[in-house]
Every structure is written in structure tokens, then in C-alpha cells.
Structure 1
Amino acid sequence: MAEHSAARDLVEAISRGFEEFEPPPVPVFPDGPLGWPGYDDQLARAAERSGAGESVLCGRGRVGSAEAVLVAFDFAFLGGSVGIAAGARIVAAFEQARDLRLPVISLVASGGSRMQEGICALRQLQAIARACVLTRQERVPHITVLRNPTTGGMWAALSAAADVVLASPGAAVAFGGSRVRHPSDTGAAFSAEGKFADGQVDRVVDDAELPEVLADLVSLLHPQRSVRPPDPAPVPPALTAGALPGSGWEAVQRARAEDRPRARAYLDAYFASRFEISGDRAGGRDDGMICGFGDHEGRTVAFAAQTGTANTPAGFRTAARLVRLADQLGIPVLTLVDTPGAANDAAAEQGGVGPAIAEVFAAVAEARVPITTLVIGEGGSGGALALAAPERTWITSDAYFAVIAPESSAAILKRDPADAPELAGLLRLRPQDLLELGFVAGIAY
């Protein structure tokens, strides 16, 4: 008879036709591997109280239009803690996902490793981390949902390693749980919202929205949807029609025009639906870099789009994360270039803007999937070039690309600022110049 537990209620709210996997066999010891006094009685009481046979429930079900493997924690069973049996269930579920080529959805609510099993419980983190790595290597996506609370090893070894990280509003999320960290360490930094602000969570999702959001993600990232090797993403058509600029300075002015279509307008026109990832997983977010996955004419395309601002280190690291994830999953990439250049203030330097840009250059250079680039506005120096695909870059008629902005060129060359228009011409930064010089493959109309 199926158990009636919070974990089962959760998976049945998210999926249809859920079927639990047979739990793998594990060694059985009186009172556990440490002989912890009264541990067997604790397990019996936990099962009676929660209605669950262990702290984690694993199986497969249909999420939206496609199947997925689900790993759901039950906090009512010894605080969702993981010991030998729970760890074996999680590892086996990831093995099933690889064999079946189904995405993994982990629904985590856990206090970490089980004290009563000591080091035998702690070592499960290594096995779980390896299962995540092997699954990633097989290009099978892992989506996690941080529920209340997600702390300790399950945050570090399972959820933080996921490709997409969602979180429940108000959930406590931290490596150190509230009982083990200093009493003064409270506040937003230890919450789902704080983790989102710090770039460690992609989206905070209400329970009512969760089934639809997961269904969209499973549809977009499902391994059976990708093609090996994928065709390049088509070049988006330009959203403005006009003659090519007559001068370099005119090209610059048109690219800087406030009423010119920006990245979100292009994304809205290109994708029927999309999911945006957020943050660099290292403590930062940049609203000037929009990254994610979308449905373009029935196929999934990843995107990294600049919005016209000077991007921060977090923005570049997020773009690199997006390109690497798309490459891992076998999904083609579209990049939209529009930036006056990378941020160059003290905060950017302290945040490692140089290494962050290097990450994007490397991710683009290493990508096995095709990358398509459209320059839709300003193409300012290395901060723009990092996102540009060699030999697959196009440009609109109201955009430019230059080694540096004309004003900065005047400063470097010790010229009068009034010489910027002349230098714009000498830089040959117009779309037609870039086509003639072989930098772009074409002009989009």
C-alpha cells in the first residue's frame, strides 16, 4: 500500500501517474551503523508520525507533457536528514534518470546528514555529488526546488549543484542551519529571497505556480528534445527597418537612441515562451544580462542578452554559466550584443571583471554547440566581443561595433573630446564597414 506522506502529496501535486522506485537494498544494523541507543525506535516513531518509510521518496511521473524523475524529501521524517538508506535512494534515482534519459527534479527539505549514523551518513554527500556529476556528464538536466528548510549537505552536495535552482518563498536556505550557526547570524542572507538576491537561486516560485513552472522547464530542457548536433539558432529579424548609417558617428547615435528596440523586445518577438535563469552562483546578479532558455518554433534555444548597460562581473559569469549549461545539454545558443562596454569602476575590478570576461571568452571558444550572435545596439570593446560568436555574428542597421567607444578613443589618443565624431569614422564601426572587414556575416533586416 502506498504511503501517505507530505512527500507523496507534493509529488502528486506536481506530477501525474507517479510511480515509486523500488528502494535499493542497504545493510541493516541494530540501531544503525553506530549502534546509536534507541535509533531503531526513533525510526519507527518517525515513520508513524510522517507516514513515510524514509526521509526521501523517489520515483517517476509525468510533469506537464513529459516524464521526469522526482526526488522528494519529507522533513517530518527526522528533519529530512540523510543516512545510508536515503543516500542510496537518491543515488539510485539519478541512475534511473540516466538510464531512462529523464530530467531530475529534486524537492528538498532537509536539515542535512543524520547524526545517528555519523560519518556513514556524511559520506553520502560524496556519493550524491558523484551521482550529480555523472548525470551532468550524460547531459541529463537537474532542476531543484529549495523548500523550507534546505540546509547543510543537501544544499551543498545536491541542490547547489543543480542546473536550475528554484526556491519556495520564505524558505530557510543556508549551509549552516539555525541551530549550529551563531545566534546573531540571521536575516535575508539565510533565506530563499536572500539567495536569489545573491545570485544563488534562479527564481523564487509560489507553490501554486510550481507545477506550471516545472512543466515548462521539463519541456524546455528534456534530453529527448535536443538534437545531436543541434542546428544553429536562426538569426532574429531586425525590429527596425532603415537605411544604413551614412557616417560612423550617425551609427553611434542610432545605437544609443533611447527609442531603439532592446533585448527584451527581441526576446519577446523570438520566443513563444522562455525561462530566465538568474545569477552567477557566486554571490552576484546583473539585470543587464538576461539569460535563459526559450521555445523558438518548437525547439529549445538558450540565450544570453545584454540590455545596453555596462555589464558587471556577475553578468559575465552568468552568461558563461548559460553557455556552459547549454553546451552540456546540447542546446544551441543565441547571444544579443548591446553594451557600451564592461563596467570599469572599482567595484567591477574588485569583483574580478577581467577573469569574468575571460570566462565568457572561454565558454564560447569551448562550446560544442553552435552560437549565433546578433548585435542589436552598441558593441563596445571586449565586453561586447566576449559574447560574439566567431564567424556567426550578424548586426542590425542601427548598431555598431568598435574596439572602443569614440569618446574613449579620443582620451586614449590624447585628442580633443570634440574629435569623437571624426574618430568614429576612422574606426570603421558602421554595419557596412564591419561586413566589408569580415567581422560580421551579414546585416539583419
Structure 2
Amino acid sequence: MAERRSAREVLALVTDAGSFTDIPCVIREPEPDGPLGWQGYDASRARAAERTGEEESVVCGTGRVEGVPAVLIAFEFGFLGGSLGGRTGDRLEAAYAYAREHRLPVVPLIATGGSRMQEGMLALTQLQRVARQSALTREAGLAQIAVLRDPTTGGGWATLGAGADVVLALPGAQVGFAGSRVRPPDADPAAYTAQAQLAAGAADAVVAPAELKGVLGAWLRLLSRGTAGRRPAEPAPVPAALGEAALPATGWEAVRRARSPERPRAGAYLDAYFTHRAGIGGDRCGGRDDDGMLCGFGERDGRTVAYAAQTGSATRPAGYRTAARLIRLADRLGIAVLTLVDTPGAANDAEAERQGAGAAIAEVFAAVAGARVPVTTLVVGEGGSGGALALAAPGNTWVTPDGYFSVIAPELAAAILKRPPEEVEATAGQLRIRPQDLVELGVVRGIAEHTDHAVHADRPGT
């Protein structure tokens, strides 16, 4: 079990000293024993207030996290299990409204057992209020970063937690829709932990308490630089090429160079491009991001750029869904996107089909096509068929000298055309997949050189 801290203790853990100030909130006068007339409810609330020093189960205010201002919502689990009631809803609504008025990100620090039984369905409907406030804040282009404490269960997990843009969790925290008192008797308790939610793609990272302030501060800096609601985002610069400078003489040479294990991969490009970066993980559909896709946000020249980068292997459905999630989030926040294409193609095994490969790829096509922020693409290796094209920005795709883009792998093209294996190399040439061919055909805009802004070739009229 994770160490439990009070609301004020966790606020002191993550905010700069002396920076936290409570947000004023007009709270309704409670009815005797609540809206249901639940006998003993007033006495329970009085004991909770005396024990915790709080008037309700949440503390809402503004503070700075490593210098970045934010609205923070800290649950007090000692107050009736951090449960949500009508007055909790009042406070949450006021906090979100304040965030939108002052254009501040929101950080829910969650520790709740769910809705308050003594207020019945009126307590449960507070989840609708919370969901509405979260949706309005999302539409305003403001980030929401949740921290899952122990426990995070019920409606608090299903709204403030799982609905956040980035989800961080403390080690050992109980996290799940079902709390420990309502699970099936034979339930595996390991399935209801922060680590399990991370493995299932429902959380982005598990962070030790000593590191929480630094991690949270880094995320707030990255996600608070978006231009949503103010001005259009500037396109991300094309990365410099890191591999060979010479262009391939033949199509098959282009294939061999793109497949070379010595060729720089996505990690090298991201390290060279960003001063620092933070990754998101998980598709929020039960799948952890696969090794074939890296997604997150990074800092370059004092601005934030989102990235979705294939790593050279066949991309799995969870990877595509994570990329789509990344692009949609960047679009809401007004942050430009960089995509790196490098895959022999989408994973096509039976398990990938069962996991919805086609629908996952369609999500990425739709996210790129519908993005209001500029998307910049660089093909850094293999560009294999639709599984690669899904990440490519129409009109703003570039290629390195050791990359290629093809309707299908030359070997498969030859097989489909019923050609013998010895004709694979000639087929690669006929497909016109070399970087210079792609420029001439108008498939890519240009060829990246070994400087940040130079271009080897550029299509006329672009």
C-alpha cells in the first residue's frame, strides 16, 4: 500500500513553498443530515472536519509547481474517504471555472473512494458536473494532469483520473473503478494497482513521491506553452538528417540503407532534436504503447513540440492508438506535431487483427487529417505502405537520404506480381522509392540535409 498523505501534505510536496492559496468558493448551506436526511450524517461530517481540519473532501487552490502556475485539486481522504458530495461538486466546479478564467492548467491530486452514500443519487450526479467542467476545460485548450494517490477508485477515477490528458500515479496506489469493498471475492488485487493500470495503458507513468514535483513541473512547462485560443502554432522545424548524406543510386540500395542496423533510429533523432522530452504511454483502451512507437512532448528552442515516432519495427494497434491520442491532445493544446516515419509496415499477425489494426490505423489517418495545428513529418528509414503513410503530413513530409517510401515492400510487390525472387531488386527500382524519386513524384516535399534548416531538394511550388 502506498503512503497516504493528507491533502495539505501532498500540496506541500508538489508546490513551491508559500505559493498555494485556496480558491474562494460559495458553498451551499447543508441541509440537516444532508439531502436524504441520513441520520447521523451531520455528526460524521463534524468528526471528519475535526479530524482533518478541512470543511470538505477536496482542497482547491492555485499554486506554483517549479515556477509554473496551476490550479490544484487535492482530495482529503480522511474526510469521509475523500468521497464526492454536493458541496464537493461546488468546489470542483469553482476550481475549473477559475482555471478557465485565468487560463491555468488543472492538476487533480486524487485520493477518493467514490461517491458519498449519505447523499445518494445526488452525490453520484456530481460526476456529471465534474465531467462537464473537465470537458469545458479541454475545449478551452488547457491541460489536465492527474496524479493518482492511494486510493483512486470509483467515479473519481472514471472522471478526474482516467479523463485527464496525462496520468501520473504513485507507486503502490490502489487504482480501479471497483474499490476494495465492492470487488468480487476472488478478484486479483494486483489488477487494481497503479502498476497494473500502467501496464494496461491507462496511466502514463508511475512516479516516486520524491520525484513527483520535478516530473509534474516538467509536464506543466511542456503543456502550458500551447497556443490554443491565442494564435496559430508555428510548424515544427524539419530535423537534420543524421545518417548518410549521399543519395542512393538504386531503389534496392535505398531499401538496404533504410534497413541497415547501423542507421540512426527514432531515439537518436529525438535526442538530437529536443533539449528534453517526456513520453506518454498507453492507448487508454487496454494496450500499452509498443516498442514500435514513441510518443510525447519535448522542448526545442524554448517551445514545445509533440512527437510520434516509429522506431523501425512493425507498428502494433496500441502504438497507433497512442499516436492518435498524442496528435489529438496536441491539437487541443495548440502544439505543433512532429512525426517520424520508420516502419516496414503495420503489424499484420492474427493478434494485431484481433486488436483492431485497421481501426487503429484509421484513427491516426483521421487525427493527422483533422489536426488544426501543423504537422511536420520526416521519413528517417523505411516507409512501408499505409502503416507508414498514416503518420505522414500531406504537403509537409520530408525524407532523409537513407529513407524510402513505398506502396509495399519490394519483396511483397514481386510476390503479388508473381515475379521470381531474383527480380525483387529490379522491382524496387520500378517502384521509384528513392528519396530523389519521391521528390520528383511530389510524394515528399524535400530531402533533409545534415543541418537544421537546409533542404537538399524541394518540389516546385511548395
Alignment TM-score, normalising by the size of structure 2: 0.94
Which letter does structure 2 place at the counterpart of 1:38?
G
Q: Offset of 1:65 from its aligned partner?
A: 2.2
Give the counterpart of 2:328 among 320, 324, 328: 324
Name the counterpart of 1:11. 11
**Residue 278 in structure 1 maps to residue 247 in structure 2:** no
Task: Give the secondary-structure state (helix, strand or coil) at the position aligned to 1:125.
Answer: helix
Distance 2:306 2:226 in 1: 16
How far residue 296 of structure 1 moved from its aligned partner, in angstroms, is 0.6
2:121 corresponds to 1:119: yes
Report if aligned partners of 2:276, 2:298 keep a CA contact under 8 Å in 1: yes
Q: Within the alignment, does 1:362 sit opposite 2:388 as a pair? A: no
Distance 1:181 1:410 in 2: 55
Q: 2:295 aligns with which of 291, 294, 311?
A: 291
Rounded to whole Å, the distance in 2 between the matches of 1:39 and 1:136 is 35
Preserved CA contact (<8 Å) 2:226 2:335: no
Tell me which residue corresponds to 1:99.
Answer: 101
Mark the CA change 1:53 to 1:230 in structure 2 (over 3 Å): closer, same or farther: same
Amino acid aligned to 1:413: L
Which one-letter code corresponds to 2:416 in the other structure? I
Cα distance in structure 2, aligned partners of 1:27 and 1:59? 21
373, 379, 401: which one pairs with 1:375?
Answer: 379
One-letter identity of the residue aligned with 1:311: T
Deviations, residues 194-213 of structure 1 (Å, cap 9, x unaligned): 11111110111110110001
2:401 aligned residue: 397
CA distance, structure 1, for counterparts of residue 210 and residue 68 of structure 2: 20
Farther-moved stretch of structure 1 (19-28 vs 41-50) = 19-28
Residue 38 of structure 1 is matched in structure 2 by 40
How many angstroms does 1:48 deviate by?
1.6
Normalised to the residue count of structure 1, the TM-score between the two structures is: 0.97
Q: For residue 24 of structure 1, report the CA deviation from its aligned partner.
A: 2.4
Name the residue aligned to 1:190. 192
TM-superposed CA distance for 1:224, in Å, is 6.5
Task: Letter of the 2:438 partner, please give it.
Answer: L
> Where does structure 1 lack aligned partners over 5 or more consecutive residues?
none
Matched, 1:315 2:319: yes
Post-superposition Cα deviations, 1:218-243, rounded to whole Å, max 9, x if no partner, equal 11111566662011000000112321
Question: Equivalent residue for 2:233?
Answer: 230
- Aligned-partner SS, 2:73: strand
2:390 is the alignment partner of 1:415: no
2:209 aligns to what SS in structure 1? coil
| In 2, Cα distance between equivalents of 1:275 and 1:183 | 39
Contact 1:379 1:401 in 2 (8 A): yes
Structure 1: how far apart are the matches of 2:10 and 2:332? 29
Residue matched to 1:206: 208
Deviations 1:92-140 (A, max 9, x none): 1011100000000000010000011111100000000000000000001
Aligned-pair CA distance for 1:66 = 1.7
Question: Are 1:247 and 2:241 matched, yes or no?
Answer: no
In structure 1, C-alpha distance between the alignment counterparts of 2:333 and 2:223, rounded to whole Å: 8
Matching residue of 1:25: 27
- Stretches of 4+ aligned residues off by more than 2 angstroms: 223-227
Q: Which moved more, 1:171-180 or 1:20-29?
A: 20-29
Deviating more after overlay: 225-234 vs 385-394? 225-234
Tell which deviates more after alignment, 24-33 or 114-123: 24-33
* Match for residue 59 of structure 1 among 58, 61, 69: 61
Deviation at 1:415, TM superposition (A): 1.6
Q: Structure 1 CA distance, aligned partners of 2:421 and 2:51?
A: 75
Contact 2:315 2:347 in 1 (8 A): yes
User: Could you tell me how far apart the structure 1 residues matched to 2:332 and 2:295 are?
Assistant: 16
Note the alpha carbon deviations across 1:254-302, whole angstroms, 9 max, x for none: 0000011000110001001111000100000212111011101100000
Contact 1:140 1:223 in 2 (8 A): no
What is the rounded CA distance, in whole Å, between the counterparts of 1:301 and 1:308 in structure 2? Answer: 21
Aligned to 2:135: 133
Structure 2 equivalent of residue 352 of structure 1: 356
1:263 has 2:266 as partner: yes
> How far apart, in 2, do the equivalents of 1:181 and 1:13 lie?
32
Report if aligned partners of 2:99, 2:105 keep a CA contact under 8 Å in 1: yes
Q: Number of aligned pairs?
A: 441
Cα drift, residue 189 of structure 1: 2.1
Please list the CA deviations of residues 335-389 of structure 1 after superposition, one character each: whole Å capped at 9, or x if unmatched: 0000000000100111110011000000000000000000000000000000000
Alignment partners' CA distance in 2, 1:306 and 1:133: 30
How far has the Cα of 1:316 moved from its partner?
0.5
Equivalent residue for 2:457? none
Distance 2:39 2:224 in 1: 46
Which residue matches 2:459?
A: none
Distance between the aligned counterparts of 1:94 and 1:366, measured in 2?
A: 27
CA RMSD of aligned residues (A): 1.1
Tell me the secondary structure at the aligned position of residue 297 of structure 2.
strand
Report % sequence identity.
Answer: 62
Distance 1:18 1:224 in 2: 24
Residue equivalent to 1:335:
339
Distance 2:319 2:443 in 1: 24
1:103/1:223 contact within 8 Å kept? no
Q: Deviation at 1:411?
A: 1.7
Say whether the 8 Å CA contact 1:310–1:339 is kept in structure 2: yes
Give the structure 1 partner of residue 309 of structure 2.
Answer: 305
